[in-house]
């Protein structure tokens, strides 16, 4: 089922005006802080009543300011995963997980406690109190608690923002499993390109209260005109399959007819992946370079250039593997005489691809 | 203890414990409700409620006692109606409990209100998003988290109720066996020419009760804090 959202809300000088639909899967609301993401999530959760708006999940209307419908939070059948977890400190992990259970509307629950515990790997934590959990463990429990309320929709409000990179790497696979193993759609707020790259089925990019673009993760991240997290964090997505694991710790990926070497991934040959190539780490060359240590050289054509406000320029290059973004200086772009249609080579260091940049593909 | 205290003194101590216990237990639900309203609700007349709750703290106790007499006396505007359904406060130990409860109420509400304000409303929001209606959120999230404050407030109120004198003696007088609580008894003994020994014994008992209450509250609060954990 699809979540339809149309909202206008003003506070102070800021106005939010957003209309979009979130299809099944993970829809990432993507933008910098202050772009209005959290306002949208709070309005969907019922924690904030917008000036005007309509929010419906399938046929079920949660809010309609024109007809005066505004369901209170506890009747919206949602599960919210907050940035700070918000676990109940006086209850055990198990009691936290089961808190929303008794309110799951009469029907047979579609998710089972045992399955959730197994999926999130929290079996050994059940008797503990949240005060004795690490940040990553807390967020895993928070995911389980939201899921076990048997919600129509899960809202995740920057659930990884308070965690360090290794904790993020720990949690991201659980969101992938949430996306791939449960039927519950997720509206996921983030300002991280990496999370979009790993998780998004659909991306809604927000900029200063307006929707600047929406589309699949590959479309949005590969568009040099849309870099909601800033040029520094830009990076395109390449979809690929695991072709072979090599003995020297590398994995060979097949991206269309092109081949990419990345550090060893866990998935078996044949598995579909998506790999984020940070624009910052890409080098462009007009000639095919010789005697170079970088292992990945892809031939392609410049599709578009977007000069930034500083010295940088983002160049999108169409290659056989897909669209790649490169962030180079304006000086280099001029020296190489880069323009749409010009042939060039994209150079990607294998080790610039971190484990967090490689995610499973969402098969729907 | 019976050997240490004369029968009259013993009677006063027991009566005080009974009066204070009833005052505390009966006012606790109202105390929690008032504290919750003051900490979390917004409604017209909130300032008025806040003033009404705190008034006994600043009014001369004699004035509070007199007002109680006007309201709950046999001819009082509430007392008459309540007497018809069998509830009598005037010159009765229940009146001493009512006076003690009202005098202790501000202390109880303050302690509970502070603990409610320390509970992160975001936890209550989280409970709402999981489908819990408001009364259930209060019972399963707010109340367990404020338990240390509730206990502290109750014990504080109990100690205050034991010592209440001015409003009690004004409202329900000083009738041995009925309304002569520990402080009233000390006062009465001090008025009599040969009562000083008895007064001193009661003073020692009062000190013991007060210290026991403080120790108990400390112990319970620590235990609860450990159980609630964070």
Write the pLDDT tens digit of every residue in B194-222. Answer: 888 899 999 999 999 989 988 888 888 78
Q: Is A253 an interface residue toward B (CB < 8 Å)? A: no
Note whether A90 contacts B229, CB cutoff 8 Å.
yes
Who among A47, A77, A145 is closest to B125 (CB)? Answer: A47
What chain A residue is nearest to B121 in terms of C-alpha separation? A86
Exposed, middle or buried by CB within 10 Å (0-12, 13-18, 19+), for B184?
buried
What is the band of A107 on the pLDDT scale with cuts at 50, 70, 90? low
Supply φ then ψ for residue B225, to 5 degrees: -60, -40
Q: Is B46 an interface residue toward A (CB < 8 Å)? A: no
Note whether A103 contacts B131, CB cutoff 8 Å.
yes
SS3 content of chain A, % helix, strand, coil (to 5): 25, 35, 35
Chain A nearest CA to B131, separation (Å): 4
* Measured distance CA(B47)–CA(B126) in Å, rounded: 29
What is the band of B22 on the pLDDT scale with cuts at 50, 70, 90? very high
A and B: number of Cβ contacts within 8 A? 68
Note whether B128 contacts A99, CB cutoff 8 Å.
no
Chain A nearest CA to B96, separation (Å): 38
Percent of chain B residues topping a pLDDT of 70: 97
Residue with tokens 């501000």: B106
Q: Is B135 an interface residue toward A (CB < 8 Å)? A: no
Joined tokens for residue B102: 């009202």
Sheet of A258-263: strands edge to edge?
A258-263, A250-255, A235-245, A272-278, A358-360
* Measured distance CA(A346)–CA(A234) in Å, rounded: 16
| Mean per-residue pLDDT over chain A, rounded | 89
A298: three-class secondary structure by DSSP: strand
Q: How many CB atoms lie within 10 A of CB A111?
A: 19
Residues of A in contact with B125 (CB under 8 A): 47, 73, 86
| Mean per-residue pLDDT over chain B, rounded | 90
Q: Is A149 an interface residue toward B (CB < 8 Å)? A: yes
A170 has pLDDT over 90: no
Q: Is B125 an interface residue toward A (CB < 8 Å)? A: yes
Residue A59 pLDDT: 87
Note whether B122 contacts A45, CB cutoff 8 Å.
no
Note whether B140 contacts A79, CB cutoff 8 Å.
no
What is the band of B86 on the pLDDT scale with cuts at 50, 70, 90? confident
A286 has pLDDT over 80: yes
Exposed, middle or buried by CB within 10 Å (0-12, 13-18, 19+), for B17?
middle
Q: How many CB atoms lie within 10 A of CB B211?
A: 11
* Measured distance CA(A39)–CA(B138) in Å, rounded: 26
Q: Is B208 an interface residue toward A (CB < 8 Å)? A: no
Joined tokens for residue A262: 């990345």
A34 has pLDDT over 90: no
Locate all alpha helices (DSSP H) within chain A, ordered by sequence.
Answer: 37-45, 93-97, 113-120, 135-148, 165-181, 193-199, 217-221, 330-335
User: Which residues on adjacent β-strands are paired with residue A69?
Assistant: A64
Residue A108 pLDDT: 58
Note whether A149 contacts B125, CB cutoff 8 Å.
no
Helix (H) or strand (E) run with residue A299 in it: strand A296-307
Residue A234 pLDDT: 87
Note whether A89 contacts B126, CB cutoff 8 Å.
no
Residue B229 pLDDT: 56
Joined tokens for residue B167: 């409003």
Averaged pLDDT for residues A259-266: 92
What is the band of A28 on the pLDDT scale with cuts at 50, 70, 90? very high
Residue B230 pLDDT: 45
A106 has pLDDT over 80: no
Who among A73, A84, A131 is closest to B129 (CB)? Answer: A73
Contact predicate A228/A30, CB 8 Å: yes
Chain A nearest CA to B224, separation (Å): 10
Who among A47, A89, A155 is closest to B229 (CB)? Answer: A89
What chain B residue is nearest to A72 in terms of C-alpha separation? B128
A364 has pLDDT over 50: no
Percent of chain A residues topping a pLDDT of 90: 54
What's the pLDDT tens digit per position in A288-331? 999 999 999 999 999 999 988 888 899 999 999 999 999 999 99
* Measured distance CA(B227)–CA(B114) in Å, rounded: 20
Identify from B118, B120, B129, B230 which residue to disrupt to test chain A contact, counting A C-beta atoms within 10 A and taking the largest count.
Answer: B129
C-alpha B167, offset from chain centre: 13
């Amino acid at each position: 089922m699809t979540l339809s959202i149309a909202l206008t809300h003003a506070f102070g000088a800021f106005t939010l005006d957003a209309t979009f639909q979130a299809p099944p899967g993970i829809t990432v609301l993507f933008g910098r802080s202050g772009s209005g993401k959290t306002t949208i999530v709070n309005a969907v959760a019922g924690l904030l009543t917008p000036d005007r708006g309509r929010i419906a999940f399938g046929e079920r209307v949660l809010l309609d300011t024109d007809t005066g419908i505004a369901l209170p939070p506890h009747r919206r059948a949602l599960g919210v995963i907050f940035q700070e977890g918000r676990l109940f400190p006086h209850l055990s992990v198990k009691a936290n997980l089961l808190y929303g259970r008794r309110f799951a509307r009469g029907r047979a629950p579609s998710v089972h406690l045992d399955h959730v515990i197994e999926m999130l790997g929290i079996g050994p934590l059940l008797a503990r109190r949240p005060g004795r959990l690490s940040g990553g463990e807390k967020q895993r429990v928070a995911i389980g608690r939201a899921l076990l309320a048997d919600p129509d929709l899960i809202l995740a409000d920057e659930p990884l923002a308070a965690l360090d990179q290794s904790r993020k790497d720990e949690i991201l696979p659980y969101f992938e499993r949430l996306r791939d193993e449960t039927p519950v759609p997720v509206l996921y707020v983030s300002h991280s390109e990496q999370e979009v790259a790993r998780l998004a089925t659909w991306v809604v990019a927000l900029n200063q209260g307006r929707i600047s673009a929406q589309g699949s993760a590959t479309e949005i991240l590969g568009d040099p005109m849309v870099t909601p997290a800033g040029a520094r964090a830009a990076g395109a997505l390449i979809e690929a399959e695991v072709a072979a694991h090599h003995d020297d710790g590398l994995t060979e990926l097949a991206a269309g007819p092109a081949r990419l070497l990345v550090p060893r991934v866990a998935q078996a040959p044949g598995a579909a992946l998506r790999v984020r190539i940070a624009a910052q780490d890409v080098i462009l060359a007009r000639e095919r370079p010789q005697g170079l240590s970088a292992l990945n050289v892809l031939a392609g054509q410049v599709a578009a250039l977007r000069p930034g406000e500083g010295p940088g320029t983002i160049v999108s290059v169409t290659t056989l593997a897909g669209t790649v973004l490169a962030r180079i200086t304006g000086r280099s772009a001029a020296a190489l005489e880069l323009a749409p249609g010009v042939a060039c080579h994209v150079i990607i260091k294998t080790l610039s691809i971190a484990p967090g940049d490689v995610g499973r593909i969402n098969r729907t | 203890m019976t050997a240490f205290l004369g029968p009259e003194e013993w009677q006063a101590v027991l009566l005080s414990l009974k009066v204070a216990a009833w005052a505390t237990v009966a006012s606790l639900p109202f105390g929690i409700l008032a504290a919750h309203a003051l900490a979390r609700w917004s409604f017209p007349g909130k300032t008025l409620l806040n003033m009404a709750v705190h008034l006994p703290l600043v009014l001369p106790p004699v004035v509070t006692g007199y007002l109680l007499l006007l309201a709950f006396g046999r001819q009082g505007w509430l007392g008459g109606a309540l007497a018809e359904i069998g509830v009598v406060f005037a010159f009765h130990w229940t009146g001493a409990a009512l006076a003690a409860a009202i005098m202790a109420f501000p202390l109880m509400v303050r302690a509970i209100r502070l603990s409610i304000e320390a509970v992160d409303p975001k936890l209550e929001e989280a409970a709402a998003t999981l489908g819990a209606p408001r009364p259930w959120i209060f019972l399963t999230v707010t109340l367990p988290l404020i338990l240390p404050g509730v206990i502290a407030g109750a014990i504080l109120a109990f100690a205050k109720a034991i010592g209440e004198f001015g409003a009690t003696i004004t409202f329900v007088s000083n009738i041995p066996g009925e309304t002569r609580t520990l402080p009233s008894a000390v006062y009465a003994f001090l008025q009599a020419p040969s009562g000083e020994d008895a007064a001193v014994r009661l003073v020692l008992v009062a000190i013991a009760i007060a210290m026991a209450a403080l120790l108990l509250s400390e112990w319970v609060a620590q235990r609860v804090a450990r159980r609630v954990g964070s």
